[in-house]
């Protein structure tokens, strides 16, 4: 059954980017990001309350899941939804797949002894950057043409890469932020609560355009609810199951499938054929992740990003 959960998680995460791309094509990106968290918040609140789970926290403890939620949900969603206006869904999925690369870099720089340095891992990091440059090459070349609308592709790529960095920060520091006295249900509830409030203010500060009747179109509604329920809420529960059953290192292999699934669904739904640079970059990045994640016995591989 765990293998079924594994492939289901990879599918939900990999297909999320096609859903997000459709969302931001019809609804303001800040509104889309807010709706994703809001629907997840309602989903978990109803579930936890109906199951009579304890979800409220004393004020002195609440800041912990709030900060964690900001790092792994609120801020990365801002970067993701803004950036996906200008880049294909498949490309966004590739950038999401680089989360373990950034985790290793951040942990190696900030947490002494957390990740043992090896030349194999160092070569993996360098190879990962080479893969990123391959994927970014078309956007960089268009940027040099000087056309305003072409420059947005590079800005969008950088924005989605910042999403991956945020996920990595969350992976590295969440276990130090959160308290063992806080239950899983309390963490999930308060992370969604803070992220929802944060994204609401981002809507106001960003001058978001409120949706009209276009949000009621079946395809738009489906994409919004699919990403919120399946690619976020249910995917989170599947991740917890795999972490408990397999541990972080084994479960982290899901990272390898997400870019491939995102490119495949982008082709199946939108008819977009991946470019040569993207295909080459994906395989280079996947190999680099293998070197980084399995480059030493003490490595605690992360699983994150959706």
Lowest-confidence pick of 115-119, 137-141, 176-180, 185-189: 115-119
Share of the chain above pLDDT 70, in %: 92
pLDDT at res. 115: 59
Share of the chain above pLDDT 90, in %: 53
**What is the C-alpha to C-alpha distance for residues 185 and 144, in angstroms, rounded to an integer?**
49
84: Cα within 13 Å, side-chain hemisphere = 34
Q: Is the pLDDT of residue 299 over 50?
A: no
Residue of higher predicted confidence among 245 and 76: 76
> SS3 helix, strand, coil % of the chain, rounded to 5?
80, 0, 20
CB atoms within 10 A of CB 50: 8
User: Tens digits of per-residue pLDDT, 146-170?
Assistant: 666 667 889 999 999 999 999 989 8
pTM score, two decimals? 0.90
Q: Is the pLDDT of residue 64 over 60?
A: yes
pLDDT band at 303 (very low <50, low <70, confident <90, very high): low
175: closest CA among 71, 246, 97, 99? Answer: 71
Q: Is the pLDDT of residue 33 over 50?
A: yes
Lowest-confidence pick of 48-52, 65-69, 108-112, 151-155: 108-112
pLDDT at res. 302: 57
Rg (CA), the chain: 19
Average pLDDT over residues 205-232: 89
**What is the C-alpha to C-alpha distance for residues 303 and 251, in angstroms, rounded to an integer?**
7
pLDDT at res. 297: 46
The residue extents of the domains of the chain are 2-293
User: Tens digits of per-residue pLDDT, 77-118?
Assistant: 999 999 999 999 999 999 999 988 888 888 888 876 555 667
């Amino acid at each position: 059954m765990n293998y079924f959960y594994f492939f289901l998680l990879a599918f939900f995460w990999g297909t999320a980017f096609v859903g997000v791309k459709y969302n931001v094509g019809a609804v303001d990106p800040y509104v889309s990001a807010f709706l994703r968290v809001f629907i997840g918040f309602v989903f978990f609140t109803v579930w936890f309350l109906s199951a009579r789970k304890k979800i409220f926290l004393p004020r002195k403890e609440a800041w912990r899941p709030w900060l964690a939620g900001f790092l792994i949900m609120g801020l990365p969603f801002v970067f993701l939804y803004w950036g996906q206006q200008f880049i294909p869904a498949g490309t966004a999925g590739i950038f999401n797949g680089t989360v373990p690369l950034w985790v290793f870099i951040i942990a190696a720089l900030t947490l002494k002894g957390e990740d043992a340095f090896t030349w194999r891992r160092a070569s993996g990091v360098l190879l990962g950057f080479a893969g990123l440059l391959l994927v970014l090459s078309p956007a960089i070349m268009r940027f040099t043409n000087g056309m305003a609308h072409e420059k947005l592709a590079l800005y969008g790529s950088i924005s989605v890469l910042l999403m991956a960095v945020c996920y990595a920060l969350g992976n590295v520091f969440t276990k130090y932020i959160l308290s063992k006295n806080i239950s899983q249900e309390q963490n999930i509830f308060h992370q969604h609560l803070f992220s929802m409030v944060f994204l609401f203010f981002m809507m106001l500060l960003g001058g978001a355009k409120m949706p009209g009747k276009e949000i009621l179109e079946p395809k738009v509604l489906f994409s919004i609810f699919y990403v919120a329920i399946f690619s976020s809420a249910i995917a989170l529960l599947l991740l917890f199951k795999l972490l408990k059953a397999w541990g972080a290192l084994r479960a982290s292999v899901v990272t390898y499938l997400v870019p491939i699934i995102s490119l495949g669904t982008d082709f199946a739904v939108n008819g977009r054929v991946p470019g040569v640079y993207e295909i080459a970059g994906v395989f280079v990045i996947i190999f680099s992740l293998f070197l980084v994640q399995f480059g030493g016995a003490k490595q605690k591989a992360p699983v994150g990003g959706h």
